[in-house]
């Protein structure tokens, strides 16, 4: 797919990319996951700019966008040229579907990823909660369904996953190819989306659970981003108008924060592995897959209560807010229908001898019953306070709407 006009981006995995598949199908599964995450971010950007973005997963099919092929044919029969007729067909299609496709309309581009290798799925959890967390992880991440195994009981349980993630310690390539015209517009929007997604969130599926932290090494410049931003505005102007549902992701009322962990990071040395890490791979030089502990349950320490084994972001919020708001923010464990609005990365490093980082991001809808400021204040206390999970960590990045959506 190499095109001298748009050479591939060089990227680097900071945490593994989720595929959910067994080995050989992994790359195409990852490409699908990347597509899904770029689309999700595009929806959030469009809504934050007062444009309309449909929910392509809406149970009510009539609410999803559809290319109007009758209007298209009618225009052709009336002697319109193909471009004009195509515009007729797009009348009820939102800005996002115009790029990512919808019923009757193919997506306008392809993604190709090269240079990633499979890495067995494994997690690190605190030894004090090894059996409980191991069982949850095995259940949530499809251990059983994909033919994994669980042997033994309690602290002696051995968990073996058969699914793989994707990873490379060397840079990998990602290319975009525009396939139905409007090349510059489509590509520049995609480049902008790639930048927003990787800087504020993560690529691919299961990003709420630590996967998909990726860094763009080269291939992207400011002109492309500015141009992408402009094209997004133009697309919004000419696309379908409508009311957005407050519950859907929107870059207003959004936060994304990166913390630098004070060394030595907790979990260095106290973690037990759920699954199997390759023996020749020193994963701690790159990442520690412990997002689950951070979100739900760890036993590193809990100075906030006298209970020893119930310290995690979710229980911490539950003590301060009610259960309903906490469930709305974090989703329900093991229930994919109730998606989490708060995403937590695994701990990751940018280079083997550097400090660990943690990225936390999320959307706090106005209707949820707690405001954004309160959520980020609680997060700060939970993570960096002297009684927090990673005391003394410092904020090194915080999302600023001006730099992203202008
Ligand atoms: Zn749409």
Q: 3 in a domain, yes or no? A: no
- Identify the H or E element spanning 319: helix 313-320
322 in the same domain as 260: yes
pLDDT in tens, 159-177: 999 888 999 999 999 999 9
78 in the same domain as 36: yes
Q: How far is the CA of 70 from the centre of ligand 1 (A)?
A: 18
Q: How far is the CA of 304 from the centre of ligand 1 (A)?
A: 45
100 in the same domain as 38: yes
Read off the pLDDT band of 403 (50, 70, 90): confident
The pLDDT of residue 301 is 54
Which range of 66-75, 311-320, 333-342 scores highest in mean pLDDT? It is 66-75
71 in the same domain as 39: yes
The pLDDT of residue 305 is 46
DSSP 8-class letter at 317:
H
280 in the same domain as 199: no
Question: Does residue 337 register a pLDDT over 70?
Answer: no
Q: How far is the CA of 63 from the centre of ligand 1 (A)?
A: 9
Give the domain-ending residue among 184, 214, 238. Answer: 238
286 in the same domain as 192: no
Q: 244 in a domain, yes or no? A: no
Q: Which of 90-104, 214-228, 254-268 has the lowest mean pLDDT?
A: 254-268
CB 344 within 8 A of CB 360: yes
171 in the same domain as 158: no
pLDDT in tens, 339-356: 889 999 999 999 988 999
Instruction: Please identify every residue whose CB atom is under 5 Å from ligand 1, which is an ion.
Output: 54, 65, 94, 97
126 in the same domain as 202: no
The pLDDT of residue 306 is 42
347 in the same domain as 229: no
CB 134 within 8 A of CB 159: yes
Question: Does residue 307 register a pLDDT over 50?
Answer: no
Number of domains the chain is built from: 2
The pLDDT of residue 334 is 56
Alpha helices by DSSP H, 68-207: 69-77, 82-89, 95-100, 130-140, 183-200
Q: 1 in a domain, yes or no? A: no
The pLDDT of residue 303 is 47
How many Å apart are CA 276 and CA 290, to the nearest integer? 14
Rounded mean pLDDT of 90-113? 96
Q: How far is the CA of 242 from the centre of ligand 1 (A)?
A: 10
Give the domain-ending residue among 184, 207, 238. Answer: 238
Residue with the bigger pLDDT between 5 and 139: it is 139
The range of the structural domain enclosing residue 372 comes to 122-162+253-405
Read off the pLDDT band of 313 (50, 70, 90): very high
The average confidence (pLDDT) of the chain is: 90
Q: Give every CB contact of residue 210 below 8 A, 6+ residues apart in sequence.
A: 15, 289, 290, 291, 292, 344, 345, 346
Q: 247 in a domain, yes or no? A: no
Q: How far is the CA of 154 from the centre of ligand 1 (A)?
A: 48
Q: 292 in a domain, yes or no? A: yes
106 in the same domain as 185: yes
pLDDT in tens, 6-53: 778 999 999 999 987 665 567 888 889 999 999 999 999 999 999 999
The pLDDT of residue 5 is 66
CB 27 within 8 A of CB 37: no
pTM > 0.85: yes or no = yes
Q: How far is the CA of 254 from the centre of ligand 1 (A)?
A: 22
Q: How far is the CA of 101 from the centre of ligand 1 (A)?
A: 8
286 in the same domain as 315: yes
Q: How far is the CA of 65 from the centre of ligand 1 (A)?
A: 4
Question: Does residue 376 register a pLDDT over 60?
Answer: yes
Give the domain-ending residue among 183, 208, 238. Answer: 238
Give the number of C-alpha atoms closer than 13 A to the C-alpha of residue 173, restricted to the C-beta side.
10
Read off the pLDDT band of 287 (50, 70, 90): very high
Q: 4 in a domain, yes or no? A: no
Residue with tokens 């202008």: 406
Q: 378 in a domain, yes or no? A: yes
Q: 223 in a domain, yes or no? A: yes
Burial 216-244 (b: 16+ CB within 10 A, else e): beebbeeebbebbbebbeebbeebbeeeb
Read off the pLDDT band of 264 (50, 70, 90): confident
229 in the same domain as 111: yes
Instruction: Give the tokens for residue 36.
Output: 């899904």
């Amino acid at each position: 797919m190499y095109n001298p006009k748009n050479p591939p981006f060089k990227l680097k995995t900071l945490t593994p990319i989720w595929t959910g598949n067994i080995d050989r199908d992994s790359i195409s599964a990852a490409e699908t996951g990347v597509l899904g995450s770029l689309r999700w971010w595009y929806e959030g950007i469009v809504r934050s700019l007062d444009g309309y973005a449909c929910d392509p997963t809406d149970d009510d099919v009539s609410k999803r966008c559809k290319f109007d092929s009758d209007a298209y044919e009618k225009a052709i029969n009336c002697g319109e040229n193909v471009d004009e007729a195509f515009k007729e067909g797009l009348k009820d299609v939102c800005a996002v579907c115009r790029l990512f496709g919808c019923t009757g309309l193919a997506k306008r581009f392809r993604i190709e990823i090269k240079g990633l290798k499979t890495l067995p799925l494994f997690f690190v959890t605190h030894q004090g909660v090894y059996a409980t967390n191991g069982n949850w992880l095995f259940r949530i991440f499809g251990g059983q369904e994909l033919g994994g195994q669980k042997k033994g009981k309690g602290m002696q349980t051995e968990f073996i996953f058969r699914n793989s993630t994707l990873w490379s310690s060397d840079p990998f390539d990602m290319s975009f190819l525009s396939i139905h015209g409007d090349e510059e517009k489509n590509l520049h929007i995609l480049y902008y989306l790639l930048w927003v997604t990787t800087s504020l969130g993560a690529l691919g599926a299961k990003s709420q659970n630590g996967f998909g932290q990726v860094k763009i090494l080269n291939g992207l410049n400011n002109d492309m981003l500015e141009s992408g931003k402009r094209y997004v505005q133009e697309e919004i102007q000419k696309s379908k108008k409508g009311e957005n549902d407050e519950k859907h992701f929107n870059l207003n009322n959004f936060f994304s924060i990166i913390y630098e962990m004070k060394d030595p990071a907790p979990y260095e040395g106290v973690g037990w592995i759920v699954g199997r890490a390759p023996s020749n791979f020193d994963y701690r030089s790159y990442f520690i897959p412990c997002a689950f502990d951070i979100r739900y349950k760890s036993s590193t320490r809990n100075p906030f209560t006298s209970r020893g084994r119930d310290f995690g972001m979710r229980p911490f919020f539950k003590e301060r807010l009610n259960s309903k708001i906490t469930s709305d923010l974090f989703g329900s464990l093991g229930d994919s229908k109730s998606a989490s609005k708060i995403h937590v990365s695994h701990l990751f490093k940018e280079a083997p001898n550097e400090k660990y980082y943690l990225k936390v991001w999320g959307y706090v809808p106005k209707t949820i019953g707690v405001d954004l400021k309160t959520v980020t204040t609680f997060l700060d206390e939970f993570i960096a306070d002297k009684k927090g999970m990673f005391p003394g960590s410092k904020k090194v990045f915080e999302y600023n709407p001006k730099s992203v959506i202008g």
